[in-house]
C-alpha cells in the first residue's frame, strides 16, 4: 500500500507529471534543483515542497532528469529507506539502470527504469506511455503510482529494458523526422502544395507521428515550440546507437541518423525544440518547409 510519493525534477515533463499525484495520494513531496519551481508546484497543486532528504523518505520516488548521469549523481549522495521503490522516468542508459538497480538492491530499495513517451501534452493529460524495466514484483507494487501519470504502463523486461525501448522509440522518431524533411523538401522543389501532400500522406501508408503532428503543428507553421529539447533527442539517438554497437549489429541508417541529429543539435540555437533538426536540413537544401 503506497502512503507517500515524491517527484524529483520538475522540468517540462516532471512539473506536469507530478501535478496528478495529489489526486491519488495524501502525501506528495516535490523537489527541484531550482527550488522556486518546487514551491510554485506546491502552491499550484497542493504538493509539499521539501528538502531532497525528506522527499526520498516517500514509499515511491519518481525522478525525471535529463540524463542517467544526473540521476546517478543524485542517488549517490542519498540515504534511502529500505522498501522504497525508485521509479526513474528519465530517458536514460540501460547499463546505468542495471548498475543502479544492483547498488540500490543492496539497500533493499528497488529501482525501476520507467521512461515515458507522449510529450508534454501527454504529461499534462496523464496519458503517457510508461515502459518499465526491472523487478516484476516491484513493478506491481509501483503500478498504482505509475497509473497516476500514464495510460499504457508496460513491464517490458529486466533492468535496462525500459530505457532500451525508449531509446529505440526516439531513434524511430528521429529517422522519421529526417526522412520527412527530405521527402517534403523534394515535394516543394517539384512545386507540390505541401498541405495537400500532407493530407494525402496522412491518409496513406507513409503516415507517422511526425506527419500527423510534428510537421503540421511545429514545422510548416514555423512555430518550433520548445517542449522537448533537441540535445535530449541527440542524447536518445546516441543511446540507441550504443545498443546496436554493443550487440555488434550493423547500423547504417541509425548510425547516420545519430550523426545528423548530433550535428543538428550542435549547430542549433541553444534552446531548440527537437523539431528544429529540420532547419539543419533546410540550411543544406536552401528550401524552407512552410
Ligand atoms: P527539462 O530540461 O525541462 O527538465 C530537466 C529537469 O531536471 C529540471 O527540473 C532540472 O532542474 C532538473 N535537473 C537538470 N540537471 C539536474 C541535476 N544535475 N541535478 C538535479 N536536477 C537536475 O527536461 P524534460 O522534462 O524535457 O526531460 C526530462 C527527461 O524526460 C529527459 O530524459 C527527456 O529525454 C525525457 N523526456 C522528455 C520529453 C519531452 O517532451 N520534454 C518526453 C519524454 C521524455 P532545474 O529546474 O533546476 O534546471
- Residue whose CA is at the smallest distance from ligand 1 atom 26: 12
- 198 close to ligand 1 (CB < 6 Angstrom): no
Chain-centroid distance, C-alpha 82? 28
Q: What is the mean pLDDT of residues 78-95?
A: 97
For residue 117, the ligand 1 atom closest to its alpha carbon is: 43
Q: Would the pLDDT of 270 be above 90?
A: no
Sign for the pseudo-dihedral over CA of 142, 144, 149, 155: positive
Long-range contacts of 246-252 (CB under 8 A, 24+ apart): none
Based on the residue annotation, tell me whether 166 is a catalytic residue of this protein: yes
- 40 close to ligand 1 (CB < 6 Angstrom): no
- 22 close to ligand 1 (CB < 6 Angstrom): no
CA distances, 216 to each of 63, 177, 180, 221, 284 (Å): 32, 12, 12, 7, 21
Q: Could you tell me the distance, in angstroms and rounded to a whole number, from the CA of residue 87 to the centre of ligand 1?
A: 15
- Report phi then psi at 85, rounded to 5: -115, 125
Q: What is the mean pLDDT of residues 140-148?
A: 98
Choose which residue among 11, 75, 170 to substitute to test ligand 1 binding: the one with the highest number of ligand atoms within 8 A of its C-beta.
11
Question: What length does the chain have?
Answer: 290
For residue 37, the ligand 1 atom closest to its alpha carbon is: 46
User: Among 199, 234, 205, 224, which Cα is nearest to 289's?
Assistant: 224
pLDDT of 285: 98
Asked if 102 and 77 count as a contact pair (C-beta separation under 8 A), the reply is no
DSSP string, 32-83: -SSHHHHHHHHHHH--EE--HHHHTTSSEEEE--S-HHHHHHHHHT--PPTT
**CB-based burial, 196-222: b 16+ in 10 Å, e otherwise:** ebbeebeeeeeebebbeebbbebbbee
Which DSSP helix (H) or strand (E) runs through 86?
A: strand 85-88
For residue 232, the ligand 1 atom closest to its alpha carbon is: 34
Q: What is the mean pLDDT of residues 246-260?
A: 98
pLDDT per position as a tens digit, 177-234: 999 999 999 999 999 999 999 999 999 999 999 999 999 999 999 999 999 999 999 9
Q: Please count the CA atoms within 13 angstroms of the CA of 231 that sit on its side-chain side.
A: 9
3-state DSSP: the chain helix, strand, coil percent, rounded to 5?
55, 15, 30
- 150 close to ligand 1 (CB < 6 Angstrom): no
Asked if 169 and 117 count as a contact pair (C-beta separation under 8 A), the reply is yes
Q: At what angle do helices 161-189 and 94-105 cross, to 10 degrees?
A: 160
SS3 state at 287: coil
pLDDT per position as a tens digit, 106-128: 999 999 999 999 999 999 999 99
Q: Would the pLDDT of 162 be above 90?
A: yes
Q: What is the mean pLDDT of residues 45-54?
A: 98
Residue showing cell 546496436 = 244
- Residue whose CA is at the smallest distance from ligand 1 atom 40: 119
Catalytic residue among 23, 37, 105, 166: 166
**What is the spatial distance between Cα 41 and Cα 16, in angstroms, rounded to a whole number?**
9
Q: Could you tell me the distance, in angstroms and rounded to a whole number, from the CA of residue 277 to the centre of ligand 1?
A: 19
CA angle 69/74/79 to nearest 5° reads: 140
Residue % of the chain over a pLDDT of 70: 100
Average pLDDT value for the chain: 98
pLDDT of 77: 87
pTM of the complete model beyond 0.85? yes
Q: Could you tell me the distance, in angstroms and rounded to a whole number, from the CA of residue 11 to the centre of ligand 1?
A: 5
pLDDT of 76: 94
Amino acid at each position: 500500500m503506497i502512503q507517500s510519493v515524491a517527484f524529483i525534477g520538475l522540468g517540462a515533463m516532471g512539473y506536469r507529471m507530478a501535478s496528478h499525484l495529489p489526486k491519488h495520494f495524501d502525501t506528495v513531496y516535490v523537489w527541484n534543483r531550482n527550488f522556486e519551481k518546487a514551491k510554485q508546484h506546491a502552491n499550484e497543486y497542493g504538493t509539499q515542497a521539501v528538502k531532497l532528504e525528506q522527499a526520498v523518505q516517500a514509499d515511491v520516488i519518481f525522478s525525471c532528469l535529463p540524463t542517467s548521469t544526473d540521476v546517478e549523481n543524485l542517488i549517490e549522495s542519498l540515504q534511502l529507506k529500505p522498501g522504497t521503490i525508485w521509479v526513474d522516468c528519465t530517458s536514460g542508459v540501460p547499463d546505468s539502470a542495471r548498475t543502479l538497480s544492483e547498488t540500490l538492491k543492496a539497500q533493499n530499495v528497488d529501482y525501476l527504469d520507467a521512461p515515458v513517451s507522449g510529450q508534454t501534452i501527454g504529461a499534462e493529460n496523464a496519458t503517457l506511455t510508461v515502459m518499465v524495466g526491472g523487478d516484476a514484483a516491484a513493478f506491481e507494487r509501483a503500478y498504482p503510482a505509475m497509473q497516476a501519470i500514464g495510460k499504457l504502463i508496460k513491464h517490458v523486461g529486466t533492468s535496462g529494458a525500459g530505457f532500451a525501448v525508449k531509446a529505440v522509440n526516439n531513434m524511430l522518431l528521429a529517422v522519421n523526422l529526417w526522412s520527412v524533411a527530405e521527402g517534403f523538401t523534394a515535394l516543394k522543389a517539384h512545386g507540390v502544395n505541401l498541405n495537400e501532400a500532407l493530407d494525402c500522406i496522412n491518409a496513406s501508408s507513409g503516415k507517422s507521428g511526425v506527419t500527423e503532428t510534428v510537421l503540421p503543428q511545429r514545422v510548416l507553421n514555423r512555430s518550433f515550440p520548445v517542449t522537448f529539447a533537441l540535445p535530449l533527442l541527440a542524447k536518445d539517438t546516441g543511446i540507441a546507437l550504443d545498443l546496436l554497437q554493443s550487440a555488434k549489429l550493423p547500423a547504417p541508417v541509425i548510425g547516420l541518423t545519430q550523426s545528423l541529429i548530433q550535428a543538428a543539435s550542435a549547430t542549433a540555437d541553444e534552446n531548440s525544440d527537437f523539431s528544429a533538426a529540420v532547419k539543419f536540413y533546410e540550411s543544406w537544401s536552401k528550401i524552407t518547409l512552410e
